[in-house]
Structure 1
């Protein structure tokens, strides 16, 4: 009976991970070679998440010395390569962005004992030659530090060349609408939206998202403008891929409250010029956005322990209350 309960609990814990595991479009690829340039088949390649200190993928190079780690979540990784007769190679600080097809190029191994470790810091080429797409990336620092009216992450789309919005303000209670976003003069209903690798666009109207994450839950996002890969289709506009945050090997949490009140607002300068004093009153506004987040790892017998953390979580909850009169 206890085993049944453990199995049911394990399945329930795994269900939230299913979309992120099978829907990810990112991968890391490369080639392993010796100092003379000859390829090395049969080398063991491990992809290790630096934030979680967890092994994500393990594979063996093919006859051409190539490897490819598929369905990897965005993050910072260490690539560890081992082969008998060669020194172990550690390539650290390899950053994988959302929807990125990252080719780290050739990894050169030196002849020597496997116990000898050569550590190298990752230097990723600025131009990726394995894709023809035109895209723009908005990273974590921009998401967390740029000001946004209404705390709606779609406001950051204004920073991307070629994207326009026909709304003057993001201050509202309808957060999931995306019909005001246009790229290259196209319609707002021609765009595709993805959340953690899964489609996030209401196919009924093509103008709203199924789920609108809080800005505190968004890690980064990428906007692809043209020459999409074959995996994308359906709509001819831009492809917006949003990646949410994930837990790490330590626990973190936050609480926040953002308030706006007409007591601190000035009168509209246009209203000041109206002859009727009754028209010079300030617009009433009382708005509060509050919430919090918590993240970390999940202890589970024989699966995730303090020495071998393998289950992680991130939870965010945000609410908005607004009283606004004309």
Structure 2
């Protein structure tokens, strides 16, 4: 069901992607406005070197779709001296107002005006917080988008936003301004990387914050191109440049650096052994530069991160894989562990195909290794250590304080983001843009390689206290695992045309998406789960597994928006 919404002075959500602008008024020394002035914005961050506009009949100009960076603005008109303003810093969707007073003179004469870069956006009601790359590399927090979002006032995150988990991917939903908790959107270069099972909002996508040009979070003030009423977190990746530049970041925590609040009271309450962070790491590097100067740039990143933990109160099951045994018998000589790691590689290419046609290509491949094979003789991304300690999955419905290690899962199927965008300033007033992207992922956990428990029924302890028969662990699952093979596909696209004069800025566009959510749930070959009370069976549950679930949906949206500036008044409106 679709319906149009008309809004004036709209205080709605974020724009689809960060597009900074420079605007202003040009006059002569008598105060009369000057139409026909050529205004050029140049910066090293532009592969095309500069963007230009011409003042309209009111003496106003506007240059849109500018990347974050430092700009110089030059004003040129025959019969007048050239005026140049340097050091204009643009971030996010900020609109910098740069006015100029031109005096009669020769074009060969250049007047350079110095002053502070504009810090107040006087032409938009958008509320946006932008964190640039220098700040991102200096703040003491995990290099994840969830860890960055919690630093911004008015943003409320849920699930996985705790500091000790931010180094590994989590399905962290967020919202703000009193809206739905899962209404937030996470984007890379204006295209969603959200999972279809969450409506395309967020996912476990591991954005490389350490190698981002900037991160912007907009809480209100978008127009017709805004999809929802919640906040949008937009990540702008680095694009390279005409010079070779790189970066490196490493962080880690060892077991000896972690304190413990384990006490006799907790031990008396039933926690036999505490959980402990054994190892945590995050290493990332980036390198960018020209393949061909002013024509083709690249930026490549590589990253590895993960963690190892001991699981509180859980030990390997001596009876695991034995069809004649129906109880959990803990091997207290070794505590169960969990393992989770990711290997990530990203490449971004920027191509100036023709003077007015620019393309961006983006490919991000992310491979997890969560859990381990059941034995060292089975091939997999990780095998148990020689000591025989059992390693299970973390954070994916796997090994917890109420699951025996043989019930844990495994994940070695990754996720991928792909994007291509195109922009063409056809004239100084007409800008055309288009882009499409995909976010694809397999998630689980799946069946552990070498699993010897598939022919055994899964069991659950019902007893809530004094469960001596099953390690005194209330609610314990043991003996066999459940697993799933799930597929997520998010396909999004956008296209727009902007017509910009000095006083007017109009934009017409379309957005669309196709979301796919396929799932297959499985259990042991018997399709049975037994419930026991202190080891005594009292319930048998038979499941009809495996079964498949397929869900898909498509959405399309069209919008038109207008901004008109007259003197000190700016009016904005949109129809979607």
Residue from 137, 146, 159 that aligns with 1:154: 146
Deviations 1:196-255 (A, max 9, x none): 22333335413524853212222222222223223212x221122222223233211234
Residue from 71, 80, 86 that aligns with 1:77: 71
Post-superposition offset of 1:262: 1.0
Question: Does the aligned pair in 1 maintain the 2:218–2:232 contact within 8 Å?
Answer: yes
Which aligned pairs between 1:1-326 and structure 2 lie closer than 5 A?
25-50=19-44, 55-100=49-94, 102-121=95-114, 123-149=116-142, 151-166=143-158, 167-171=161-165, 174-175=168-169, 177-179=171-173, 181-206=174-199, 207-209=201-203, 211-233=205-227, 235-266=228-259, 268-271=260-263, 274-275=266-267, 279=272, 283-299=276-292, 304=293, 309-326=294-311
Determine the C-alpha separation between the residues in 2 that align with 1:91 and 1:66: 16
Deviations 1:41-93 (A, max 9, x none): 22222111145696231232222222222221111111111111111111111
Distance 1:118 1:34, change over 3 A: same
Determine the C-alpha separation between the residues in 2 that align with 1:274 and 1:211: 36
Determine the C-alpha separation between the residues in 2 that align with 1:129 and 1:291: 38
Moved more, 289-298 or 90-99: 289-298
Question: Does the aligned pair in 1 maintain the 2:45–2:68 contact within 8 Å?
Answer: no
Question: Does the aligned pair in 2 maintain the 1:84–1:114 contact within 8 Å?
Answer: yes
Determine the C-alpha separation between the residues in 2 that align with 1:198 and 1:106: 33
Greater helix share, structure number:
1
TM-score by length of 2: 0.46
Determine the C-alpha separation between the residues in 1 that align with 2:213 and 2:274: 41
Determine the C-alpha separation between the residues in 1 that align with 2:182 and 2:74: 44
Determine the C-alpha separation between the residues in 1 that align with 2:139 and 2:233: 19
Distance 1:275 1:154, change over 3 A: closer
Greater strand share, structure number:
2
Distance 1:220 1:284, change over 3 A: closer
Q: Which residue of 2 aligns with 1:14?
A: none
Post-superposition offset of 1:283: 1.3
Distance 1:323 1:215, change over 3 A: same
Question: Does the aligned pair in 1 maintain the 2:156–2:181 contact within 8 Å?
Answer: no
Moved more, 310-319 or 108-117: 310-319
Determine the C-alpha separation between the residues in 1 that align with 2:136 and 2:113: 29
- Stretches of structure 1 lacking an aligned partner (at least 5 in a row): 1-21
Question: Does the aligned pair in 2 maintain the 1:143–1:219 contact within 8 Å?
Answer: no
Determine the C-alpha separation between the residues in 1 that align with 2:114 and 2:188: 30
**Size of the alignment, in residue pairs?**
292
Deviations 1:258-282 (A, max 9, x none): 332213323x124465456994666
| SS of residue in 2 equivalent to 1:296 | strand
Question: Does the aligned pair in 2 maintain the 1:48–1:56 contact within 8 Å?
Answer: yes
Root-mean-square deviation (CA), in Å?
2.9
Determine the C-alpha separation between the residues in 1 that align with 2:226 and 2:235: 15
Determine the C-alpha separation between the residues in 1 that align with 2:107 and 2:204: 50
Question: Does the aligned pair in 1 maintain the 2:262–2:274 contact within 8 Å?
Answer: no
Rg (Cα) greater in structure: 2
Determine the C-alpha separation between the residues in 2 that align with 1:310 and 1:39: 37
Post-superposition offset of 1:129: 2.3
Determine the C-alpha separation between the residues in 2 that align with 1:82 and 1:244: 33
Distance 1:203 1:76, change over 3 A: farther
| SS of residue in 2 equivalent to 1:144 | helix
- Stretches of structure 2 lacking an aligned partner (at least 5 in a row): 1-15, 312-576
